[in-house]
């Protein structure tokens, strides 16, 4: 598999280099030079998740990794299902929260850990990542206990749910977590600065594990196929997919699935009040506002770092960006929507509810709608219980961590401090 840096197309790497490096020169994102067109889609859709995903990832990654190795990586990563649930006529939820940390980031995080363990050289590796909540948990759990891989996770202090924090800041071992005095964009900026520091990068074998890493996106491609496989052929014909978006990695993966030939008619990018993209698509100006805190905190991102990949894929396929519908949903609207969904017999959480709402507003007659449910409702227990006036039992995975003490360090939003911490 060949990839190029979107900012500097002359910088070309293979899959192993892209996985190890994360980002290219000038913080440029890697993008596949070729996305093959699969012409056996119906055959693929008839296969079980793991087997189908082995074939899809094999087609994307190519001969660089042996079939045997790849099959093992996929089998170890995809250990849980992604069921589609019917919410009402023509509207389906793709539940991506049945993994160990109850969020869709388990797919990308676990596959990335497998990929890195496969392509790593002999040197020491430090995974440095910023999280607005769920990436951290997925990455921590995916890498926990892997030999010679240290993990450092930055997150905005007091801006993620207490349960989210418990899930990944209680592991210890090769997992260190740091609460930064700032917001998610600050954490993301610190990570980018670290990657720009050649000396530091070299000294600790820096590697990113957020949605920037291409292996995560490739893994996520697979569940779009899984969703289609659970719908009838007629339903797949006019399929519209609504993606609750923060850093826009999930949407990028969906667009790659479409490039591969999966019949998805169009995508909807749903956001919370951090509406840089819907404003950009409406007005043509890229004008990020300060990040605001919302109920759907994993989407509190005003500078979505995967956006250049979205534009690249539209450009490469000759698709028009005007075909991408994008809309922001406020917190009060999110609350109303959660109650509406509850009336229909479906208990959701704020991220999925945003995707459902924009889908419902935009779905045309004759279309089938699918929205992505990116987290288990219990991960947002406080808000869901308050809004829906119900009690949500804590799933066993969360409850276990909830009993443990937090092991995080605290830090100012200051790169010099972070650097010293990483080198210590
Ligand atoms: C990360 C996250 C999102 C946003 O996904 P992106 O790929 O960053 O757009 C949405 N919902 C939940 C629950 C998340 O954790």
- Residues 128/396, Cβ–Cβ less than 8 Å: no
pLDDT digits (tens, 9 = 90+) for 167-211: 899 999 999 999 999 999 999 999 999 989 999 999 998 887 766
Residue 402: pLDDT band (50, 70, 90) is confident
* Residue 81, phi then psi, degrees to nearest 5: -85, 170
Task: Give me ligand 1 centre to Cα 135, in Å.
Answer: 8
Nearest CA to ligand 1 atom 14: 298
Residue 2: pLDDT band (50, 70, 90) is very high
Backbone conformation region of residue 8, classed left if phi is above 0, alpha if psi is from -120 to 50, else beta: beta
Q: What is the pTM of this model?
A: 0.89
Name every protein residue with a CB atom under 6 angstroms from any ligand 1 atom: 103, 105, 133-134, 211, 244-250, 298-299, 351, 374-375
Query: How many of the other CB atoms lie within 10 Å of CB of 231?
Result: 18
Task: Give me ligand 1 centre to Cα 97, in Å.
Answer: 12
pLDDT digits (tens, 9 = 90+) for 210-223: 668 999 999 999 99
Pairwise CA distance, residues 190 & 195, whole Å: 9
Atom of ligand 1 minimally distant from the CA of 247: 8
Atom of ligand 1 minimally distant from the CA of 352: 11
Looking at every residue in the chain, the average pLDDT score rounds to 94
Lowest mean pLDDT among 93-97, 127-131, 253-257, 340-344: 127-131
Which residues, in sequence order, are CB contacts of 305 under 8 Å at separation 6+?
29, 188, 210, 211, 212, 247, 248
| Residue ranges of domains in the chain | 81-100+216-393
- Give pLDDT, residue 307: 96
Task: Give me ligand 1 centre to Cα 423, in Å.
Answer: 30
Pocket test for ligand 1, best of 351, 354, 378, 379 (most atoms within 8 A of CB): 351
* Class of the domain covering 81-100+216-393: alpha beta
Task: Give me ligand 1 centre to Cα 146, in Å.
Answer: 25
Task: Give me ligand 1 centre to Cα 372, in Å.
Answer: 10
Residue, of 122 and 297, whose pLDDT is higher = 297
Residue 123: pLDDT band (50, 70, 90) is confident
Pocket test for ligand 1, best of 103, 217, 246 (most atoms within 8 A of CB): 246
Whether 277 shows a pLDDT value over 90: the answer reads: yes
Task: Give me ligand 1 centre to Cα 123, in Å.
Answer: 31
Task: Give me ligand 1 centre to Cα 251, in Å.
Answer: 10
Task: Give me ligand 1 centre to Cα 105, in Å.
Answer: 8
Query: How many of the other CB atoms lie within 10 Å of CB of 35?
Result: 20
Q: What's the whole-number mean pLDDT along residues 222-246?
A: 96
Coil vs helix vs strand at 61: helix
- What does the buried/exposed string (b/e) look like for 109-139 if buried means 16 or more CB atoms within 10 Å of the residue's CB? bbbbbbbbbbbbeeeebbbbbbbbbbbbbbb
Atom of ligand 1 minimally distant from the CA of 248: 9
CA atoms within 13 A on the CB side of 5: 15
* Nearest by Cα to 31 from 49, 18, 47: 18
Radius of gyration of the chain (CA): 20
Pairwise CA distance, residues 47 & 40, whole Å: 11
Q: What's the whole-number mean pLDDT along residues 148-164?
A: 91
Nearest CA to ligand 1 atom 8: 247
Atom of ligand 1 minimally distant from the CA of 351: 11
- Give pLDDT, residue 210: 62
Bridge partners, residue 2, by sequence: 14
* Nearest by Cα to 297 from 213, 175, 185: 185
Order the strands of the 12-14 sheet from edge to edge.
12-14, 2-5, 30-32
């Amino acid at each position: 598999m060949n990839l190029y840096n979107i900012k500097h197309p002359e910088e070309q790497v293979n899959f192993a280099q892209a996985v190890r490096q994360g980002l290219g020169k000038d913080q440029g994102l890697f993008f596949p030079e070729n996305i093959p067109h699969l012409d056996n889609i119906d055959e693929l859709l008839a296969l079980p998740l793991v087997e189908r995903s082995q074939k899809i990832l094999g087609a994307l990654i190519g001969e660089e990794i042996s079939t045997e190795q790849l099959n093992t990586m996929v089998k170890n990563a995809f250990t849980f299902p992604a069921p589609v649930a019917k919410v009402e006529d023509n509207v389906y939820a793709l539940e991506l929260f049945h993994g160990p940390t109850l969020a869709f980031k388990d797919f990308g995080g676990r596959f990335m850990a497998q990929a890195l363990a496969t392509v790593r050289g002999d040197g020491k590796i430090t995974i440095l990542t910023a999280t607005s909540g769920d990436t951290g948990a997925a990455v921590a759990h995916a890498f926990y206990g892997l030999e010679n891989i240290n993990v450092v996770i930055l997150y905005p202090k007091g801006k993620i749910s207490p349960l989210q924090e418990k899930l990944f800041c209680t592991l210890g071992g090769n997992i260190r977590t740091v609460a930064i005095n700032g917001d998610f964009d600050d954490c993301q900026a610190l990570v980018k600065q670290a990657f720009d520091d050649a000396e530091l990068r070299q000294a600790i074998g820096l590697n990113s594990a957020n949605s920037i890493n291409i292996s995560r996106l490739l893994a996520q491609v697979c569940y779009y196929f899984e969703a289609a496989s659970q719908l009838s052929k007629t339903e797949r014909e006019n399929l519209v997919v609504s993606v609750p978006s923060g850093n826009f990695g999930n949407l990028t993966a969906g667009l790659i699935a479409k490039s591969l030939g999966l019949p998805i008619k169009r995508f909807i990018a749903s956001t919370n009040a951090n509406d840089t993209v819907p404003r950009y698509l409406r007005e043509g100006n890229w004008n990020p506002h300060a990040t605001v805190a919302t109920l759907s905190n994993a989407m509190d991102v005003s500078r979505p770092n995967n956006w250049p990949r979205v534009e690249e894929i539209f450009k490469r396929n000759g698709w028009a960006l005007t075909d991408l519908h994008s809309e922001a949903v406020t917190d009060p609207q999110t609350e109303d929507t959660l109650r509406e969904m509850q009336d229909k017999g479906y208990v959701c959480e704020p991220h999925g509810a945003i995707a459902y709402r924009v889908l419902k507003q935009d779905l045309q007659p004759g279309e089938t709608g699918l929205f992505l449910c990116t987290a288990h409702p219990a991960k947002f227990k406080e808000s869901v219980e308050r809004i829906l006036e119900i009690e949500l039992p804590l799933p066993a995975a969360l409850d276990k961590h909830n009993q443990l003490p937090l092991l995080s360090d605290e830090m100012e939003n200051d790169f010099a401090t972070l650097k010293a911490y990483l080198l210590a």
